[in-house]
């Protein structure tokens, strides 16, 4: 089992998913606002639908409002205004125990005085299941997370990864319509985290669960999600599938938060029907896409480091070609990370194939190119 | 690999374990050195006095060293008839010596514990014994017919040993009859088991009421916003920083018949007559509860602080209503703190002295008050030590029982 293989359904093609069949919304946020102190809003006018069977990730830095949003959905915080609909019914006044939502907490929140099996049986106790059914369900849940023989242990005797699986089994054993996860993998080391991403995603697809997942780890979000809602400053900046989010960020925050990115100041030089041209800080000009809709000032050009190539290694007539001085080179195995001096910046980052960078030395001047379709103009 | 083999080469002479021990020796020595002063202090000021106290409770030198010749002569006595002339002659010599060294009173006092009237008999006879002439038996009997009672002789003979279980037996309402058989003390003297039971009952009541009052406070301390929690903590700790005597005196002011509480009750027309609050069990438990509250709260709080808030949320999300979530998930995790806090308060309460003395009535005096009475008023150190030994044993027994019932890992004193 290799945890690094992305399993999400769009991994087969890197094009944005084509017109998916519209999912019936299970969760709806309608103009939800939340303030703790009565002065500032932690969540500002949130509108978001989560479809049935969808894996939606709320991604953002700490303090962006994503966890507050999750807590409101789980029933631990009341919205200051607005409505939260679950299966069409407003639930914002319903206590957590009446919502039938599975919740996996950041530090698992396993009950240390109960065995693993008792932990998993806990939600069944409040659903009037017979003893035999409870036992069968607990056994099935344990086997689902590959912990068949661990039922009699106490949580304290398990490793972090095992505890994580128990928390998962406990949140799934009562077959909730919706499962919420609050940075569930934050405490695990990198390798285990990647493995668990794979397992959680697999379970979600197999069981057809609707999942709302909170993380600040963008690679985790890209790996697992059907859609990602990028939170910043109490607002959703962009909500889209991972490929769209990566390739077509709508603003500077999304562009820099998802993946590495170069954001360079630029001015619009030419805006024809079928051609956009911008002038960079050093006076050089580039072809670009994504014409600004509003004000023309304070524009940025977004270029992903891996879209920049050493000139002559590709052969597309659409490429922007430019000269740059190589500042530094770092060998990264599959690629070489270069910092270039170009467009008035001395820290333009480029990831080029290791064999293309073979002849380059720090201080060299060389020609590079970038497809115009990968130069996006961003307004804010 | 080669470096490992090299270093192992020398270890043939010195096994690894020994090498480790040698390497860690300086750190270990330093650790011991840092503990030594406190250890010595505790040994000298705590363990030695306790051992001395335990020894005092069985020591019995007065009669054996005060009447040495009599003791020798009494060895041949049959134990029930009147002793013969030799014994009386020896007693005359001993009493004369005792009178000259003014030790007759202490011998008499010691015998008086076991046979009332022995003190005046002994002191009275000693004063005139120098004028006695043989036959001494007749002279003694002429002086006081009580010398003809074999019981006093059996008590003297029994105290030949310098160690006695007498005080310890008395502390649990037992005594030896003339033949040396154990029997319970007569009802009017059998008060100490009652006092012990009362001490345990008061300590138990105080523990229970501090738990009922303190548990919610400890919980709120962990839940309240930081500033309010700090203020609450100050209010919990403030009593600890005030002298016990001051707090007890304050309760006297509050509880007395003309005191603040009665004034308020009368003023609010809640009661027509002034209530007897001071010198009652209620008053004692109330004042002790106030003083002990922090000792119960702090260990519970320190355990509650380690319970993540997400546990309650998790329980709710899994379907448990708030009360069930609290009882099934939160409360069981607080048990180590509850046991530690209750144990602390219970054991401290067993030794209370000032508060029952000032606030309690005669029926609320605890074992410590009796210990103090025997030391200060009756000058009977041996019996005071015996009562102390009984209290110590009961305390250790309860501690052991707690450990066994709750499990050592279920008590978190730190």
Q: Kindly report, residue by residue over B346-357, the tens digit of the pLDDT.
A: 999 999 999 999
For residue B333, the tally of other CB atoms under 10 A from its CB is 17
Within this chain, do residues A207 and A303 fall inside the same structural domain, yes or no? no
A-B contacts (CB, under 8 Å): 66
For residue A361, the tally of other CB atoms under 10 A from its CB is 9
Is B37 a residue whose pLDDT tops 70? yes
Considering the domain boundaries, does residue B47 fall inside one? Answer: no
Task: Say whether A95 and B322 touch across the interface (CB within 8 A).
Answer: yes
**B404 band by pLDDT with thresholds 50, 70 and 90:** confident
pLDDT tens for each residue of B360-377: 988 889 999 999 999 999
Q: Say yes or no: ipTM exceeds 0.90.
A: no
Among B225, B314, B339, most A C-beta atoms within 10 A, so best to mutate, is: B314
Q: What is the pLDDT along chain A (380 residues), one digit of tens a residue?
A: 343 444 444 444 555 555 555 678 999 999 999 999 989 999 999 999 999 999 999 999 998 999 999 999 999 999 999 999 999 999 999 999 999 999 999 999 999 999 999 999 999 999 999 999 999 999 999 999 999 999 999 999 999 999 999 999 999 999 998 999 999 998 888 898 999 999 999 999 999 999 999 999 999 999 999 999 999 999 999 999 999 999 999 999 999 999 889 999 998 888 887 788 999 998 888 999 887 777 777 899 999 999 999 987 776 666 788 999 999 999 998 899 999 999 988 899 999 998 888 888 899 999 999 998 899 999 87
Considering the domain boundaries, does residue B51 fall inside one? Answer: no
Mean pLDDT score, B56-61: 93
For residue A130, the tally of other CB atoms under 10 A from its CB is 9
Within this chain, do residues A269 and A247 fall inside the same structural domain, yes or no? no
Q: What is the pTM of this model?
A: 0.81
Q: Which residues of A touch B (CB under 8 A)?
A: 74-76, 95-97, 99-103, 105-107, 109, 111-113, 122-123, 125-127, 170-171, 174
- Residue A17 confidence (pLDDT): 55
Mark which of B146, B164, B182 sits at the end of a domain. B164
Min Cα separation B278/chain A (Å): 45
Structural domain total, chain B: 3
CATH (domain of A122):
3.40.50.300
- Residue B310 has its nearest CB partner, among A109, A122, A171, at A109
pLDDT over 70, % of chain B: 95
Q: Is B13 buried (19+), middle (13-18) or exposed (0-12) by CB count in 10 A?
A: exposed
B376 to chain A, any CB pair closer than 8 A? The answer is no
CA angle A317, A318, A322 (to 5 degrees): 95
- Residue B57 confidence (pLDDT): 94
Within this chain, do residues A228 and A270 fall inside the same structural domain, yes or no? no
| 3-class SS of residue A106 | coil
Within this chain, do residues A192 and A129 fall inside the same structural domain, yes or no? yes
Min Cα separation A332/chain B (Å): 31
Min Cα separation A191/chain B (Å): 26
Within this chain, do residues A110 and A170 fall inside the same structural domain, yes or no? yes
* Residue numbers of the domain that contains B128: 61-164
Chain centroid offset of residue A64 CA: 14
* Separation CA B191–CA A52 (nearest Å): 78
Among A71, A74, A94, A96, most B C-beta atoms within 10 A, so best to mutate, is: A96
pLDDT tens for each residue of B154-185: 889 888 889 999 999 999 999 887 667 888 88
User: Which chain A residues are closer than 8 Å to B329 by Cβ?
Assistant: 111
Within this chain, do residues A220 and A306 fall inside the same structural domain, yes or no? no
Strand partners, A276: A271, A288
**B10 band by pLDDT with thresholds 50, 70 and 90:** low
pLDDT over 90, % of chain B: 65
B6 to chain A, any CB pair closer than 8 A? The answer is no
* Residue numbers of the domain that contains A48: 21-252
Asked whether the beta carbons of A222 and A267 are under 8 A apart, the reply is no
Closest CA in chain B for residue A176: B318
Within this chain, do residues B237 and B335 fall inside the same structural domain, yes or no? yes
- Positions of E strands within A9-155: 25-34, 43-51, 55-59, 81-86, 89-90, 101-104
Within this chain, do residues A216 and A268 fall inside the same structural domain, yes or no? no
Structural domain total, chain A: 2
Within this chain, do residues B347 and B205 fall inside the same structural domain, yes or no? yes
B313 to chain A, any CB pair closer than 8 A? The answer is yes
Within this chain, do residues B257 and B370 fall inside the same structural domain, yes or no? yes
Mark which of A222, A252, A282 sits at the end of a domain. A252
- Residue A3 confidence (pLDDT): 39
Within this chain, do residues A190 and A103 fall inside the same structural domain, yes or no? yes
Mean pLDDT score, B12-27: 85
């Amino acid at each position: 089992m290799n945890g690094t293989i992305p399993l999400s359904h769009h991994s087969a093609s890197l094009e944005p998913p084509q017109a998916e069949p519209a999912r019936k919304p299970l969760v709806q946020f309608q103009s939800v606002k939340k303030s703790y102190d009565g002065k500032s809003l932690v969540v500002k006018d949130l509108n978001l639908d989560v479809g049935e069977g969808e894996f939606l990730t709320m991604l953002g830095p700490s303090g962006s409002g994503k966890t507050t949003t999750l807590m409101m959905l789980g029933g631990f915080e009341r919205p200051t205004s607005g409505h939260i609909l679950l299966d069409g019914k407003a639930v914002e006044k319903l206590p957590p125990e009446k919502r039938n939502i599975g919740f996996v907490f950041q530090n698992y929140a396993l009950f240390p005085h109960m065995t693993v099996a008792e932990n998993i049986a806990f939600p069944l106790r409040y659903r009037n299941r017979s003893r035999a059914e409870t036992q069968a369900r607990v056994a099935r849940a344990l086997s689902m997370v590959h912990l068949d023989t661990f039922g009699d242990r106490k949580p304290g005797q398990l490793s972090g990864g095992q505890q994580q699986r128990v928390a998962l089994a406990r949140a799934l054993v009562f077959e909730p319509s919706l499962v919420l996860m609050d940075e569930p993998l934050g405490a695990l080391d990198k390798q285990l985290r990647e493995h668990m991403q794979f397992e959680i995603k697999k379970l979600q697809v197999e069981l057809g669960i609707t999942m709302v997942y909170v993380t600040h780890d963008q690679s985790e979000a890209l790996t697992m999600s059907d859609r990602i809602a990028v939170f910043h400053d109490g607002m959703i900046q962009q909500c889209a599938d991972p490929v769209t989010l990566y390739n077509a960020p709508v603003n500077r925050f999304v562009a820099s938060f998802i993946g590495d990115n170069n954001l360079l100041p630029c001015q619009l030089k030419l805006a024809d029907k079928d051609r956009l041209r911008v002038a960079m800080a050093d006076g050089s000009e580039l072809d670009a896409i994504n014409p600004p809709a509003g004000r023309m000032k304070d524009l940025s050009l977004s270029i992903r480091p891996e879209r920049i190539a050493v000139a002559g290694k590709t052969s597309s007539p659409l490429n922007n070609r430019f000269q740059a001085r190589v500042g530094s080179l770092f060998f990264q195995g599959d690629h070489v990370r270069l910092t270039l001096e170009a467009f008035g910046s001395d820290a333009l980052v480029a990831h080029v194939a290791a064999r293309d960078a073979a002849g380059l030395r720090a201080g060299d001047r060389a020609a590079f190119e970038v497809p115009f379709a990968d130069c996006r103009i961003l307004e804010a | 690999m080669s470096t490992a083999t090299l270093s192992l080469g020398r270890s043939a002479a010195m096994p690894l374990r020994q090498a480790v021990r040698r390497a860690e020796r300086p750190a270990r020595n330093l650790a011991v050195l840092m503990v030594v002063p406190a250890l010595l202090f505790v040994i000298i000021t705590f363990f030695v006095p306790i051992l001395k106290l335990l020894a005092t409770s069985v020591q019995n030198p007065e009669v054996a060293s005060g009447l040495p010749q009599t003791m020798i002569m009494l060895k041949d006595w049959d134990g029930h008839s009147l002793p013969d002339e030799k014994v009386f002659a020896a007693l005359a010599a001993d009493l004369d010596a005792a009178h000259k060294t003014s030790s007759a009173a202490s011998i008499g006092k010691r015998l008086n514990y076991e046979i009332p009237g022995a003190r005046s008999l002994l002191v009275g006879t000693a004063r005139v014994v120098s004028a006695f002439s043989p036959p001494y038996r007749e002279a003694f009997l002429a002086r006081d017919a009580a010398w003809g009672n074999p019981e006093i002789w059996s008590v003297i003979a029994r105290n030949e040993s310098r160690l006695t279980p007498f005080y310890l037996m008395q502390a649990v309402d037992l005594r030896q009859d003339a033949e040396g058989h154990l029997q319970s003390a007569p009802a009017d003297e059998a008060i100490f088991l009652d006092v012990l039971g009362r001490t345990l009952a008061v300590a138990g009541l105080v523990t229970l009421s501090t738990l009922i009052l303190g548990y919610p406070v400890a919980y709120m301390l962990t839940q309240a916003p930081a500033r309010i929690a700090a203020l609450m903590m100050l209010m919990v700790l403030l009593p600890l920083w005030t002298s016990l005597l001051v707090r007890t005196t304050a309760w006297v002011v509050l509880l007395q018949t003309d005191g603040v509480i009665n004034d308020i009750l009368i003023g609010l027309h809640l009661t027509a007559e002034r209530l007897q609050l001071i010198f009652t069990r209620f008053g004692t438990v109330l004042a002790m509860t106030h003083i002990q509250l922090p000792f119960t709260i702090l260990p519970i709080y320190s355990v509650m602080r380690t319970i993540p808030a997400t546990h309650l949320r998790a329980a709710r999300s899994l379907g448990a209503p708030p009360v069930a979530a609290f009882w099934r998930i939160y409360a069981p995790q607080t048990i180590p703190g509850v046991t530690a806090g209750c144990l602390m308060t219970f054991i401290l309460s067993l030794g209370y002295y000032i508060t029952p003395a000032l606030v309690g009535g005669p029926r609320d005096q605890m074992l410590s008050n009796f210990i103090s009475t025997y030391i200060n008023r009756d000058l009977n150190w041996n019996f005071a030590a015996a009562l102390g030994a009984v209290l110590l044993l009961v305390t250790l027994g309860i501690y052991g029982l707690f450990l066994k019932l709750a499990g050592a890992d279920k008590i978190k004193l730190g």
